[in-house]
Structure 1
Amino acid sequence: MLRGSCHCGAVKFEYRENPEWLTECNCSACRRFGTVWAHGSPKNVTIEKEPDATFAYVWGDKELEFHTCKTCGNTTHWAPVDPEGDRMAVNTRLVPAEDVKDIRVRHFDGADTWRFVD
């Protein structure tokens, strides 16, 4: 299980899976956000926040909402725009470093080939 929060603590998450790997993507959004994602099922993730604690940024194919804390500016997670979506991700840069230090980080070329490049 991974637990994390934004810098100010307004958004907390619990990721109840053991990720095989984490993903660092170089697409225009992820590169700028500085994220390292743990992808999983929304059924195994709990986001704890007030309803208006984040703002959602939607771009490109309009299928993902990147959620960012309105107070401290940390991007905490992305969720599918479609509430029936079966994948989401949490930003493991917001998890204590010791909790993710042994999990492999894979590099994904979201900017060009849409493939892992490691």
Structure 2
Amino acid sequence: MIQAQCHCGNIKLQLPKLTDTMTCCNCSICARYAALWGYYLQPEVEISVGEYGSRQYCRGDREILFHCCNQCGCVTHYSAIDVSPTSRVAVNYRMLEPQLIKELTIRYFDGADTFKAVEKVQFTGLL
């Protein structure tokens, strides 16, 4: 198991493994969060929230919730509003130790205009 967590450790996410790629999206919200997303099915991710709790932000089409730590403010993941075993959870790979993701390929997704993947590049640790 791999553990991701917010800066203060209040929100922890247990992942079965890393995905082969991580996604960098340029939509209006992802560009501001500077997240690198790894996608999982809902049952694959175990999420625990500590005493400080979390808050959610629902944007645009009202289909997903962005989850943030109430203590340190990190955006840890997003999930579907209507949760089911087939719904997706996107984990912000920036919550992992950098050495864990340094070999992964980044899939750039044009969420701002075309809503299509545009290219894949090797992660350098700086974005």
Q: State the TM-score bracket (shorter-chain normalisation).
A: over 0.9
**Alpha-carbon distance between aligned partners in 1 of 2:69 and 2:18, rounded to the nearest angstrom:** 25
Q: Which moved more, 1:28-37 or 1:11-20?
A: 11-20
Match of 2:47 in 1: 47
Match of 1:100 in 2: 101
Structure 1 unaligned residues grouped into runs of 5+: none
Query: What residue identity is the alignment partner of 1:15?
Result: L
Scaled by the length of structure 2, what TM-score is found? 0.87
Match of 1:91 in 2: 92
Which structure is higher in strand share?
2
Q: CA RMSD in A?
A: 1.4
Is 2:54 the partner of 1:57? no
After superposition, give the CA deviation of every residue in 1:11-42 in whole Å (9 maximum; x if it has no partner).
Answer: 01111134121001111111101100001101
Is 2:3 the partner of 1:3? yes
Cα drift, residue 56 of structure 1: 0.5
Compare relative contact order (CA 8 Å, sep 6+) and give the higher one, 1 or 2: 1
**Alpha-carbon distance between aligned partners in 1 of 2:18 and 2:93, rounded to the nearest angstrom:** 13
Query: What residue identity is the alignment partner of 1:99?
Result: L
Change (3 A) 1:2 1:112: farther
Q: Which moved more, 1:48-57 or 1:32-41?
A: 48-57
- Contact 2:10 / 2:52 at 8 angstroms: preserved in 1? no
* Segments of 4+ moved more than 4 angstroms: none
**Alpha-carbon distance between aligned partners in 2 of 1:15 and 1:67, rounded to the nearest angstrom:** 16
**Alpha-carbon distance between aligned partners in 2 of 1:17 and 1:102, rounded to the nearest angstrom:** 14
- Contact 1:23 / 1:38 at 8 angstroms: preserved in 2? yes
**Alpha-carbon distance between aligned partners in 2 of 1:78 and 1:10, rounded to the nearest angstrom:** 16
Scaled by the length of structure 1, what TM-score is found? 0.93
Structure 2 unaligned residues grouped into runs of 5+: 120-127
Aligned residues between the structures: 118
Match of 2:122 in 1: none
